Chains A and B, each alone.
Chain A
Amino acid sequence: MRIRLDPWPVDIEGGQLSLKEFNGEIHDVETPRWAAIHARPIPERLRQVFVVDGKRRMESRLFIEDDHGQSGLGGFGAYVVGAVELCPHGTRQAELRAVKAARILAHAPDLRVDPMTLSPRNPHTGRLEYTPVAMQGTDPLAALNTLQQHMLAAEQNLSHDLASKVPADEQDDREWLSALTVQDGTLRGRNLNGAVVGCVKTMETMYLPTDRAGLLAELKPGERTPVMRMTYSNGQFTRLIWYVRLCGAAFYQHPMAGVMRLEMFAPDDPGFLPPIVRQVANLSGTLLMRLGAHAHKDPRAPQNLIPTGALEQAMGRSMGSADLVTRRIRAHIAGLQGVA
Chain B
Amino acid sequence: MTNLKLGGPDPAGAQVGMVLGTQDVTPVSFWFAVLPGASVQLDDLVAVQTRKPDGSIVNFYGIVDHVRTRHEGVTFDSDVQDVVAGLLPASVSYAARVLVTRVNPENFIPPQPGDGVRHARGDDLRMALSADKMGEKAFPGGLLADGQVLPINYRFVNGENGGHINISGISGVATKTSYALFLLHAIFRSGVMGAGASAGRALIFNVKGEDLLFLDKRNREVESREAQAQAQKGLSSHRYALMGLPVEAFRDVQFLAPPRPGSAGAAIVPHVEQRGEGVTPFLYSLREFCARRMLPYVFVDRNASVNLGFVIGSIEERLYRMAQGAETPYLTVDDWQPDTEQILEEDVRFDEMGSARISTFAQLVAYLEYKLLDANDGEGDRRWVGKQAPATLQAFIRRLRGVQKHLTPLVRGDVSAEQAARYRPDPLKPGVQTTVVDIHTLSATAQMFIVGVLLRDLFEHKERVGRQDTVFVVLDELNKYAPRDGDSPIKDVLLDIAERGRSLGIILIGAQQTASEVERRIVSNAAIRVVGRLDLAEAERPEYRFLPQSFRARAGILQPGTMLVSQPDVPNPVLVNYPFPAWATRLDEVDDLQGKKVEEVGEDWLH
List 13 interface pairs A-B (beta carbons < 8 Å), by A numbering.
A86-B86, A86-B87, A93-B86, A93-B89, A94-B83, A94-B88, A124-B113, A297-B75, A297-B76, A297-B79, A307-B87, A307-B89, A314-B73
Residues of A within 8 A of B434 (CB): none
Residues of B within 8 A of A314 (CB): 73, 89
CA distance in complex: A316, B563 (Å): 48
Q: Are B112 and A124 in contact (CB under 8 A)?
A: yes
Which residue, B88, B90, B114, has most C-beta atoms of chain A within 10 A? B88
- Closest partner residue, chain B, to A87 (CB atom): B86
Using a CB-CB cutoff of 8 Å, which residues 84-103 of chain B contact chain A? 84-90
A155 to chain B, nearest CB (A): 18
| Binary CB contact string for chain B from 1 to 41 against chain A (1 if under 8 A, 0 otherwise) | 00000000000000000000100000000000000000000
- Closest partner residue, chain B, to A290 (CB atom): B87
B18 to chain A, nearest CB (A): 10
Q: Are A95 and B89 in contact (CB under 8 A)?
A: yes
Q: Are A291 and B73 in contact (CB under 8 A)?
A: no
Using a CB-CB cutoff of 8 Å, which residues 298-315 of chain A contact chain B? 306-307, 310-311, 313-314
A92 contacts chain B at the CB level, 8 A cutoff: yes
- Closest partner residue, chain A, to B91 (CB atom): A96
B82 contacts chain A at the CB level, 8 A cutoff: yes
A95 to chain B, nearest CB (A): 5
A104 contacts chain B at the CB level, 8 A cutoff: no
Q: How many of A's residues come within 8 Å of B, CB to CB?
A: 21
Residues of A within 8 A of B113 (CB): 124
B421 contacts chain A at the CB level, 8 A cutoff: no
A91 contacts chain B at the CB level, 8 A cutoff: yes
- Closest partner residue, chain B, to A305 (CB atom): B87
B86 to chain A, nearest CB (A): 4
Using a CB-CB cutoff of 8 Å, which residues 35-92 of chain B contact chain A? 73-76, 79, 82-90
A90 contacts chain B at the CB level, 8 A cutoff: yes
With known contacts A124-B112, A297-B76, A91–B89 Cβ distance under 8 A: no
Per a CB cutoff under 8 Å, which of B21, B83, B89 touches A96?
A: B89
CA distance in complex: A90, B86 (Å): 5
Closest 3 CB pairs of A and B: A94-B89, A124-B114, A90-B86
A272 to chain B, nearest CB (A): 33
A319 contacts chain B at the CB level, 8 A cutoff: no
CA distance in complex: A25, B540 (Å): 77
CA distance in complex: A14, B87 (Å): 28
Q: Are A310 and B86 in contact (CB under 8 A)?
A: no
Q: Are A306 and B82 in contact (CB under 8 A)?
A: yes
Residues of B within 8 A of A92 (CB): 86
A84 contacts chain B at the CB level, 8 A cutoff: yes
- Closest partner residue, chain B, to A94 (CB atom): B89
Q: Are B83 and A313 in contact (CB under 8 A)?
A: no
- Closest partner residue, chain B, to A292 (CB atom): B87
Per a CB cutoff under 8 Å, which of A94, A124, A296, A313 touches B87?
A: A94
| Binary CB contact string for chain A from 306 to 330 against chain B (1 if under 8 A, 0 otherwise) | 1100110110000000000000000
Residues of B within 8 A of A95 (CB): 89
Q: Are A306 and B87 in contact (CB under 8 A)?
A: yes
